[in-house]
Structure 1
Amino acid sequence: MIKGKRRWAVRPATIAPLCISLWAVTGAIATAFNLQPFQLLELQSQTLFFRLRGSIAPPQEIVILAIDDDSLTQGRDFKDSKTLAAIQSWPWRRTAYAEAINKLMAAGARSVAIDVLWDLPSDRPADDQRLRETLQRYAGRVTLASQHATSQSDGGGLEQFVNPDPSFQFEPQSIGFINYLAEPDGQLRRFASAYLNRIDADLRRSQPNLRSFDEASLQASKLPFVPPKGDYIFFYGGQNTFTTVSFWHVLHPQNWALLKQQQMFKDKIVLIGPTAAFLQDHHPTPFGEVSGVEIHANAIATVLENQALAEAVPDPLWRGLYLLFGVAGIGIAIGQLSKRATPRFLLAIAVAGAWLLVGHVSFAYAGFILPVVTPMLAIALSGLSYLGTGAVSDQLEKLRLRRTLERYVATPIVNEILNQPEDFQALLQGRKLNAAVLFCDIRGFTSLSYKLPPEELIALLNAYLNAMVEAIATASGTIDKFIGDAVMAEFGSPVSYGEQADAMNAIRAALGMRRLLAALRSQWQQEGKTLLYHGIGISYGEVIAGNIGSLRRLEYTVIGDTVNVASRVEGLTKSFRTDILITESLYQLVQEHVEVIFVGEHLLRGREDSPTRLYSLVGLRGEPPTLYHQVHEELCRYLDYQQSRT
């Protein structure tokens, strides 16, 4: 036997896991390969964490002697020109630095680190000589600056170390590398050693003992140096976070006397460097623009207090792998915790928010940098995938349910069902409810089917059923099924408007069916066609409603004793020569609104133990019974005629 190819279809339920896998893989790739857009987002999250943490007090062992705007102004404008003669114009004479170093050391400073590059002699040999004498006196306790420079030439880029002039270098040397590596967002975040490690190996071998400025400064101070656990500086704050003294105060006798009295520099690492805007030595950091000497202070303080920040997972490939399994696992777990789209989305957003909190705590309090933005985006997008596919699934389910229900129910009722907040599928599950059940059957249809040509019979039946369905739908009823020429309908399933309203809708439907069939008979009589009469039985009570059938064919229907009673009552209309019979259970709900004729108590097949009270429906109370009598007379003549022919 040849089997047809099975058509493969993607269902909304399978799309969400595929999307989650896509986000997890994308996040993992972005993390493993440090893709710049995602790297920028991660750096912005670190900036946010720094600012949420805020400025904190730095160690007291570090003081900055600032070449600031005030010092530049005082050197130029101070009346006692002899006192500040060395700082009257920029660049300052080197005697100013020599005097400052001597005073600082005399005041008990542990060491002095100078963030000013002295790579060439000045045009004042005497000044250079005085500086050399000072540096030689405090050799090993004064750290000088060295930097990496790149220049362009016809032959390509030329790299070199720019070191202090050899005449200023004395053993034991203390020379520190002052370059910092700018991150993709332009900010300085890592120690100078990170820059140093990026330099060409051959160039580095030319100066094997070169250390970063922070390391050299700490070793010069004889304080313990513990290599930092990570590459990232623990910034204590923005500008003016560290204790700062204007350079000119050290040169001014009265101000210096006050500083000595306060023991401002005793046992301190003193950093000398520019902070004046004019000198253009400001760089972007997580706390905004900060002068170079203050960045050095942050780096030294970070190492001194062992506060360096480190990547929680240093290897980018492993970070990507962890993110892959983490995001995928979270996505699957969310899918297992809830089956509805909105809770899944809200849960994903909550998990993303929790991850942001974990990242902040790890960063600010544990000193470890976790990927934050990329996994947050992947988790949030997983939630959106659940939400989107859930919405698509809901719409498809609504469409499927609409197609199912429109076979039975009027469009307004279908819309009302679909607008209900409960699960659509629950409407098709088995449930007990109270409803009015209506059966309608054509009198003598079996004999007609033998007499009429098939084309005429089908046309006649379709015209009749179309009118009956219209009457039922207008009264908010549900067409349950057609059984040959019979119609089964219910009122109160799948949507109930209340017991009395459902019962009255059944009454209005039956009266509408009477009216429309009477109109059809009038039309058929004029056209010379066969006339049809019917009987209607209605009962009210408990039924079980749901989709019933096999795997191949399911049908929304109601079953139960109320259905059986309605069917039996419809069969009795012929015996009582009436077109509409209702039971006591229905009559009790509508008795104030209808006119009826009590036809007695009768035993129904299957209910021989308790007789059923039956009523012939005349019409609505207050309306003339003209149509009822007309139909009753015509039906009696028709039944008499049929009886005479048998």
Structure 2
Amino acid sequence: MTHGRRRFRALLFLGVGLAASALALAALRLHVVQGLELNSVDLRFDMRGTQAPPQNVVLVQVDDKTLSDLRMRWPYRRTVHARLIDRLRADGAKVIAFDVLFDAPTKDDDALVQAVARAHNVVLAATQTNGHGLVDLFGGAYPDKFGARAGSPLFPADPGAVIRRVRYAVNGVEAFSIAAAERFSGHEISPSRLGGQTTWIDYAGPEGTIPAVSYSDTLRGKVRPGFFRNKIVVIGMTELALQDVHATSTTPTMPGPEIQANAIATALEGFPLRSVSWWWNAFLILGLGALPALVGMRVRPLPTLAAAMAGGAVFAVGAQALFNHGHIVAVVYPLGALALSAIGSLGAHYLIEAMERQRTRDIFSRFVPEQVVNQVLTKTDSHLRLGGVRVTGTCMFTDLRDSTKFAESLPPEQVVDVVNRYLGELTEAILGHGGTLISYLGDGFMAIFGAPIEQDDHADRALAAAREILEERLPRFNEWFRERGYGEGFRMGIGINSGEFLAGNVGSERRLEYTAMGDTINAASRLEGLTKGSGHSAFIAESTCDALVQPANDLVFAGEQEVRGRAGKIKVWSLPAGAPAFAPAPAAEPVPGALGPAVPAPA
């Protein structure tokens, strides 16, 4: 491959990688597939599996058992909640977090307020606020007046109403979970601890992971003594009929109180699950977007695809490992960049291959018939090269006699015009009979039959081409030559030999040529040279006569010729004499049998 093509290939693949990365970065900035990204976080929770539940957070749940035991309609009278608070205080609960709204006043408020004041560790859920952090309960009471704290139980919902994050504050009121964690630890939690206004809830698992007991069992003293000691007790509704059930990262049906318990545990652990910065995600996008492009510059499509798949697998495993250690990286956008880059790289491969194949087609069409170019291309390797193979075929060499003197007598432009006319006539004869034009040798050429496409009748094709050259093409060229006033015309020599030879592409990446080599080729060249002064225009080796499918009974035996590089002599035949191509040339020294009668070629 030339430097220019290598440069084009590199720029094409780099462009693919950059384009894929740019699209993914734009999608990341615009949150184009944010839903899929969030779903990938849920999948990472599933892959991580259920974790050990927190030891300092428990649930007291209004479940089906409670509804059956107490036989009271929800919401319960506040005197009942007051009795529950007293039970929990007596058992040593450190924080009592009521995930139940007490906004509207009732006649039983005094009993509940007094129980809250006695416990002095209650956190109440509240949604009514003045927007500046002040809330009112029971229709007008402020929680700090009876030793309680209030927090907003509301969570921000992602697309699909899935609860994955906790907000630090809503309308100036701290989140219920953060208020409970602060009450438990005795320390204020600043927004900076969350890394922003919201942060991920580190769910321990699906619903039922947080230790829980029934509201009715707790109220009736049926829970093991000391169970609530030094713990945060979250009280709320878990029965489906009470409609406080939501989708989360770990389950589609988690009760609201258990979501609060997970959020409280997350706050107590210091919010261990954090998203990495946008720049880290951008770096991952650029890296994965560049991977297929960089690999594709050097290898074929399948290894490129394999590298992309391996890179994606390694990234997915790494993203899960990071998640398990508390770091959430974007997954969909980097994998999207990887997929786009891989698809683009495959497209680039096929584009380059199509261009190379067209270039190769153009090259081959210069020296093989157009109708067999496709067959030739099917035999090329992955680099569009014809590998070296040993074939049996026929080789032909030609040469124009006395062309040197002619070339010295005319301007270069006219000489080139004449030579091109001559070679054009001969090329048509070679290609017309299915031959492969290997190379032009000044005013002659080398051609083979039987490669790169196998031909059982390679010898017949070569002989037919030689006849057409000597009987039609050369006379027509000489007639044109005389009409232009250049002279009488030319004679030529042809050498034909058949046998095994090696054929294939040779050269460097910068320049390749399809050629043939071997003793058969050398002998054909020598035979062409021996026609000089022989009185014959063509010498056809016995090996070619033996390879004919259709015997040529009109060939003239031209004797045995000594060929340089061969141990013995070669029997050769020639074509019968026809009408001269121009005025008779000076007599040449005949070779044995040169002017004798026609002798049939050996069958």
TM-score range, shorter chain: 0.7 to 0.9
Alignment match, 2:595? none
Find the aligned partners of 1:556 and 1:521 in 2 and give their Cα distance.
27
CA displacement, residues 176-215 of structure 1 (integer Å, 9 cap, x when unaligned): 3322222355422222xx341xx56xx56xxxxx5x3233
The aligned runs of 1:172-191 (5 Å cut-off) are 172-184=147-159, 186-191=161-166
What secondary structure is seen at the aligned counterpart in 1 of 2:438?
Answer: strand
Alignment match, 2:372? 413
Alignment match, 1:235? 203
Q: Write the letter of the residue equivalent to 1:139.
A: H
Structure 1 gap segments, 5+ residues each: 1-9, 76-82, 151-157, 205-209, 450-457, 618-630
Find the aligned partners of 1:92 and 1:135 in 2 and give their Cα distance.
16
What secondary structure is seen at the aligned counterpart in 1 of 2:44?
Answer: helix
Alignment match, 2:60? 65
Question: Which of these residues, 22, 25, 41, is aligned with residue 25 of structure 1?
Answer: 22
The answer to whether residue 354 in structure 2 is matched with residue 387 in structure 1 is no
CA displacement, residues 590-640 of structure 1 (integer Å, 9 cap, x when unaligned): 499868887554334x64x845423327xxxxxxxxxxxxx62647x9999
Kindly, what percent of the aligned residue pairs are identical? 30
Q: Write the letter of the residue equivalent to 2:362.
A: R
What secondary structure is seen at the aligned counterpart in 1 of 2:59?
Answer: strand
Aligned partners of 1:534 and 1:579 also within 8 Å:
yes
CA displacement, residues 415-435 of structure 1 (integer Å, 9 cap, x when unaligned): 1232245244544x9x79666
Alignment match, 2:89? 105
The answer to whether residue 148 in structure 2 is matched with residue 164 in structure 1 is no
- Does the C-alpha gap of structure 1 residues 388 and 222 become closer, same or farther in structure 2, counting only changes over 3 Å? closer
The answer to whether residue 313 in structure 2 is matched with residue 353 in structure 1 is yes
Q: Write the letter of the residue equivalent to 2:103.
A: D
Find the aligned partners of 2:132 and 2:496 in 1 and give their Cα distance.
100
Aligned partners of 1:71 and 1:248 also within 8 Å:
yes
CA displacement, residues 369-389 of structure 1 (integer Å, 9 cap, x when unaligned): 112211221122222222112
Aligned partners of 2:459 and 2:544 also within 8 Å:
no
Alignment match, 2:11? 14
Q: Write the letter of the residue equivalent to 1:581.
A: F
CA displacement, residues 422-455 of structure 1 (integer Å, 9 cap, x when unaligned): 244544x9x7966642124689999999xxxxxx
Aligned partners of 2:273 and 2:328 also within 8 Å:
yes
Q: Write the letter of the residue equivalent to 1:301.
A: A
Find the aligned partners of 2:435 and 2:475 in 1 and give their Cα distance.
26
Aligned partners of 1:119 and 1:162 also within 8 Å:
no
- Does the C-alpha gap of structure 1 residues 99 and 578 become closer, same or farther in structure 2, counting only changes over 3 Å? same
Between 405-414 and 175-184, report the one with greater CA deviation: 175-184
TM-score (normalizing by structure 1): 0.71
- Does the C-alpha gap of structure 1 residues 356 and 421 become closer, same or farther in structure 2, counting only changes over 3 Å? farther
- Does the C-alpha gap of structure 1 residues 169 and 638 become closer, same or farther in structure 2, counting only changes over 3 Å? closer
State the 1:409 CA deviation.
0.5
Q: Write the letter of the residue equivalent to 1:147.
A: T
Q: Write the letter of the residue equivalent to 1:232.
A: W
Alignment match, 1:340? 300
Alignment match, 1:130? 111
State the 1:284 CA deviation.
2.8
Aligned partners of 1:537 and 1:570 also within 8 Å:
yes
What secondary structure is seen at the aligned counterpart in 1 of 2:165?
Answer: coil
What secondary structure is seen at the aligned counterpart in 2 of 1:116?
Answer: strand
Aligned partners of 1:148 and 1:160 also within 8 Å:
no
Question: Which of these residues, 478, 488, 505, is aligned with residue 436 of structure 2?
Answer: 478
The answer to whether residue 85 in structure 2 is matched with residue 91 in structure 1 is no
- Does the C-alpha gap of structure 1 residues 421 and 269 become closer, same or farther in structure 2, counting only changes over 3 Å? farther
Alignment match, 2:463? 510
The aligned runs of 1:394-405 (5 Å cut-off) are 394-405=353-364
Find the aligned partners of 1:326 and 1:521 in 2 and give their Cα distance.
65
The answer to whether residue 212 in structure 2 is matched with residue 244 in structure 1 is yes
TM-score (normalizing by structure 2): 0.75
The answer to whether residue 96 in structure 2 is matched with residue 121 in structure 1 is no
Q: As a proportion of its length, which structure holds more helix?
A: 1
Aligned partners of 1:65 and 1:245 also within 8 Å:
yes
Aligned partners of 1:479 and 1:487 also within 8 Å:
yes
What secondary structure is seen at the aligned counterpart in 2 of 1:119?
Answer: coil
Matched positions, count: 563
Structure 2 gap segments, 5+ residues each: 1-6, 408-415, 478-482, 590-603
- Does the C-alpha gap of structure 1 residues 61 and 518 become closer, same or farther in structure 2, counting only changes over 3 Å? same
The answer to whether residue 539 in structure 2 is matched with residue 581 in structure 1 is yes
- Does the C-alpha gap of structure 1 residues 103 and 509 become closer, same or farther in structure 2, counting only changes over 3 Å? same
Aligned partners of 1:54 and 1:237 also within 8 Å:
yes
